[in-house]
Chains A and B, each alone.
Chain A
Amino acid sequence: MNIIGMIDSIALLASILAVIFVYTGKWRKSNVIVRLFPIILVFINIFDTISNFMNLSTIWESLSPLSEAFQLILPIIWFFFLYTLLQERTTQKIKEEEERYLKAYNRAEFYKDLFVHDINNILQNIHSSTELSKIYVKSKDNQEKIEELFIIIDGQVKRGLKLISNIRGLSEIEKNEVNVKIINMKPILEQAIQYIRNSYQKRNIEIMVNYHNHSREFFVQANELLLEVFENIMINSVKHNDKEDIKIRIDVKKTKNKGNKWVKLEFSDNGIGIPDEKKGRIFQKRPFRREYSSGMGLGLSLVKEILQLFNSKISVHDRVKGDFSEGSTFIIEIPSFDKISD
């Protein structure tokens, strides 16, 4: 075997390998020209190799013009192959753009629904309260009632502000503008508890926190949006609670699961609870939420999205097993770390 023959055999082998790679891989997803391209090259290389091995044979003499024609069409085949690659990319890009626009459209629709529903409610409540105030203000005996109406208005303004803050949080997540770091979770939880106490001063709320493991600090992989998580869960416990004394118990502990460390938070309340059939969909954005979302609209869906960002988990259970009407327990597990990041 001469050296040229050997080199050509390597080229032939490489093109046969290319065919094998195509048809043992994800060939169904690719364009037919891309799939056929290596097969054509194999044929051309077979002719080339034969030409070197059988240079003097009479069979080759008759096949020689065919080989020359193949040589000529080689760059043309390359052109079609490259053109197809380009087209494939263009088609893919159009598909990606369509998906992006659809996502943006759905997001805009979601925010619109949310604003139409929740802001309308908020404005309606403020409007009713101001109308009543106008009536009550005429008599000096109604001072207490007017004060109550102001508290309602104040509550509605806070609700509107919370709605905006939630939407901002979601928007940041969707734009991937969120950085996750290692932070101490304890002050954030305390800040959220303070927020709930300040926001619902007229309601009798008892919040009890139990830190297990005797730890002073609980470092987790999260960021400032964790505050939204805690606030929204506790708002949910207060909003969906018809008891005179609202009780929220928070158990914080460090756990280990399959070699990974977690901080586990259990928020238990004595609210109206969540029936089993609704448990699976309370974290969904739409369309199910609307029918019974009298709170912040997207509170729990935001909670889930934020926690996904932190590689964390959330689940909801009955506080008393088998009786949802005794209240709910939200369990959150966040990846835990020993030290704060730089």
Chain B
Amino acid sequence: MDLIEISKIVIGLFVLLFILQNYYRFRERKNFKIIFGAFFLLFLGWIFDYLDYLYYSVLNIIQHTLLAIGFIIMAIWFWKEFHQGGKNEHNRND
């Protein structure tokens, strides 16, 4: 299980690096900060998932809470993206 958790963190780290590397392009997309926030919380959750052996009772709750908040934020992003429109922020320059 540890190997899976570490692999998840490592792949997640690569995804995070990918986001940071392309941040200026992602930024042009409206509401990107919301989905980035969701991913970041999930990533933190994965880290806590690995660390929870240190103090399981508390860290495990934190991990699951972070994941749940991450999913809620993600749902908000989907609402904004599919119901309020506005794929990007270019309109202000047009």
Is B one of A's binding partners? yes
Residue contact A18 to B71, C-beta cutoff 8 Å: yes
* Smallest beta-carbon distance A80→chain B, Å: 10
Complex CA distance for A14 and B66, rounded to whole angstroms: 13
Contact A78-B87, Cβ < 8 Å, known A14-B71, A22-B78, A25-B82: no
Q: Tell yes or no: A8 within 8 A of B by CB.
A: yes
Of residues 32 to 74 in B, which have CB atoms within 8 Å of A's CB atoms? 32, 35, 39, 42-43, 46, 60-61, 64-65, 67-68, 70-72, 74
> A residues within 8 A CB of B72?
10-11, 14
Residue contact B15 to A82, C-beta cutoff 8 Å: yes
Of residues 51 to 110 in A, which have CB atoms within 8 Å of B's CB atoms? 68, 71-72, 74-76, 78-79, 82-83, 85-86, 88-90, 92-93, 96
Complex CA distance for A219 and B71, rounded to whole angstroms: 54
> B residues within 8 A CB of A30?
81-82
Complex CA distance for A4 and B14, rounded to whole angstroms: 28
Residue contact A18 to B8, C-beta cutoff 8 Å: no
Residue contact A7 to B26, C-beta cutoff 8 Å: no
Q: What would be 24 A-B contacts, judged by CB atoms less than 8 Å apart?
A: A4-B60, A7-B61, A7-B67, A8-B67, A8-B68, A10-B68, A12-B71, A14-B75, A17-B78, A21-B78, A24-B83, A25-B78, A25-B79, A27-B82, A38-B78, A41-B74, A75-B8, A75-B15, A75-B46, A78-B42, A82-B18, A85-B29, A85-B35, A86-B25
Q: Tell yes or no: A221 within 8 A of B by CB.
A: no
Complex CA distance for A76 and B18, rounded to whole angstroms: 12
Contact A90-B82, Cβ < 8 Å, known A3-B61, A7-B68, A78-B42: no
Question: B4's contact among A4, A41, A72, by CB below 8 Å, is which?
Answer: A72
Question: B29's contact among A7, A75, A78, A89, by CB below 8 Å, is which?
Answer: A89
Q: Tell yes or no: A45 within 8 A of B by CB.
A: yes
Residue contact A79 to B14, C-beta cutoff 8 Å: yes
Residue contact B61 to A21, C-beta cutoff 8 Å: no
Residue contact B75 to A18, C-beta cutoff 8 Å: yes
Residue contact A26 to B64, C-beta cutoff 8 Å: no
Complex CA distance for A172 and B60, rounded to whole angstroms: 61
Q: Tell yes or no: A15 within 8 A of B by CB.
A: yes
Of residues 84 to 143 in A, which have CB atoms within 8 Å of B's CB atoms? 85-86, 88-90, 92-93, 96
> A residues within 8 A CB of B60?
4
* Smallest beta-carbon distance B38→chain A, Å: 9
A-B complex: 9 closest residue pairs judged by Cβ atoms: A25-B82, A14-B71, A75-B11, A11-B68, A7-B64, A21-B78, A75-B12, A18-B75, A18-B78
